[in-house]
Structure 1
């Protein structure tokens, strides 16, 4: 099956481990997928992370684990795309290509735990606590490793991933459907870009369906199948996520934030915020 947006990790064939350091103005901003499992440390930069039914934030110091062929995007905040700024991003990523083992991973007893581990990485996980610190430490100097030292360090990193631990937070409420066709992936990327660029205002179903070159009914089926949320639910999640950022980082009033993120009335904002967080915006701001 073709992949979402042509995106291949630069690597030699049959290589289990590939290390990549991203440096620049902003992160790769197309919805994409690749056959490698991905462990990413955000060193610098911030923005929105979209993976399946998850809509959230990423910031410097965060560590994320993503399964193979899971469509995702780390989309830097709008200010990173402005010409006149000094903002930069930095991220260090290890890609694990379990397919490089071929059929050996099924036949060799020593590889069985690796196979079981990869099967558990369905969707996206955020890593916290001691495990996060251990990953940071093990990635330190990773770019200088070669051969068996590189393999040993990689296996050591994977051995730290305990899915029964609270250190690994599953971000997807529903298991992510892996892989999309190239056509669907490009369409979904266009839809997501439009949503993010216009989330501060009302986006009608007619408008977004037209953007996707689909009927309203077809778009609703298409969108829910790939995000596990209705378009309205997804927009609410996106807006509440942005509102949390503004509540923490700005002195704007709650009413100002409500309109800034796209709600038409303050009462609707308060009701939606409480339904999604079990707190009012005012109490959430005080506690965080």
Structure 2
């Protein structure tokens, strides 16, 4: 049993299945980009991003499609610390010095994007953490937690906090659904085929999905498609209409309305910023 576990993930792409675990997770994306899905949040991750996940938050770093291509040569690299507070036992919270940490842990729920000087500090610490052992490892982890506790540079990403943990079956089912949506969002996706994938009736699936994402399947699909459109607007010279159809929208005017509702600006205005 250990309080803190250090892990470096290096490969063509990150682990692409939605998952959760009882440990808290602090991850620095050193290389690679794609979509981060956690709770009701879906957004882009890129090199230099640092994220903190509280316990049992379902999440996945879904690398962009090119990272799954056999011809792709660049790596995805992430540095992670897993904190197992259960390993400390309950008696440690009776120690006066640990009271502020316990209070902070009770308040911090969800996924946080760590920015600014705190982000730079975490990157430096994680780069060197693999060399630490014994008390140095313990003291280093507490030093990192203290910096996070005192930081004003953490932005909460997800609004919906799961009220109960997924069972293993529910987690696997949700993971299959999310992988399918991310892979197939470029085309028309029918409710029935997603419900069939989850082995549920349409009515039961709609309740299951809304409870865990805070959105209907249609709303979530639009969000995924708009995120993909944002990427294409930034990284390609394709026309707005080409991007709309490549992202899964069958109607240009609907794409423009949905984009403005979600982003607060038109696709053209978004592109001009970059």
Query: CA deviation digits over 1:19-62, x for unaligned, max 9?
Result: 10111111111111111100000011111111010011111111
Q: What residue number does 2:91 align with?
A: 104
Give the one of 191, 197, 204 matched to 2:183. Answer: 197
SS at match of 2:159: coil
Q: What residue number does 1:82 align with?
A: 69
State the 1:249 CA deviation: 0.6
Alignment of 1:46-195 (within 5 A): 46-162=33-149, 165=152, 167-177=153-163, 179-195=165-181
Structure 1: 5+ residue stretches without partners: 1-12
SS at match of 1:262: coil
Is residue 68–residue 178 contact of structure 1 (8 Å, CA) maintained in 2? Answer: no
Q: TM-score, normalised by structure 2?
A: 0.96
SS at match of 2:148: coil
State the 1:162 CA deviation: 4.5
User: CA, structure 1 residues 31+127, in 2 after alignment: closer, same or farther (shift >3 Å)?
Assistant: same
User: CA, structure 1 residues 123+109, in 2 after alignment: closer, same or farther (shift >3 Å)?
Assistant: same
Tell me, in whole angstroms, the C-alpha distance in 1 between the residues paired with 2:65 and 2:4.
32
Is residue 70–residue 178 contact of structure 1 (8 Å, CA) maintained in 2? Answer: no
State the 1:117 CA deviation: 2.2
Is residue 23–residue 85 contact of structure 2 (8 Å, CA) maintained in 1? Answer: yes
Displaced runs of 4 or more, over 4 A: none
Alignment of 1:237-248 (within 5 A): 237-248=223-234
Tell me, in whole angstroms, the C-alpha distance in 2 between the residues paired with 1:285 and 1:216.
37
SS at match of 1:93: strand
Tell me, in whole angstroms, the C-alpha distance in 2 between the residues paired with 1:105 and 1:112.
9
Query: CA deviation digits over 1:91-137, x for unaligned, max 9?
Result: 00011111111112332222222222222331111111111111112
Q: TM-score, normalised by structure 1?
A: 0.91
Is residue 66–residue 121 contact of structure 1 (8 Å, CA) maintained in 2? Answer: no
User: CA, structure 1 residues 129+87, in 2 after alignment: closer, same or farther (shift >3 Å)?
Assistant: same
Please give the root-mean-square deviation of Cα atoms over the aligned residues, in Å.
Answer: 1.4
State the 1:187 CA deviation: 0.8
Which is worse superposed, 207-216 or 260-269?
207-216
Tell me, in whole angstroms, the C-alpha distance in 2 between the residues paired with 1:21 and 1:164.
24
Tell me, in whole angstroms, the C-alpha distance in 2 between the residues paired with 1:208 and 1:106.
45
Q: What residue number does 1:10 align with?
A: none
Structure 2: 5+ residue stretches without partners: none
State the 1:186 CA deviation: 0.9
Is residue 105–residue 112 contact of structure 1 (8 Å, CA) maintained in 2? Answer: no
Q: What residue number does 1:234 align with?
A: 220
Aligned length: 274
Give the one of 195, 205, 225 matched to 1:219. Answer: 205
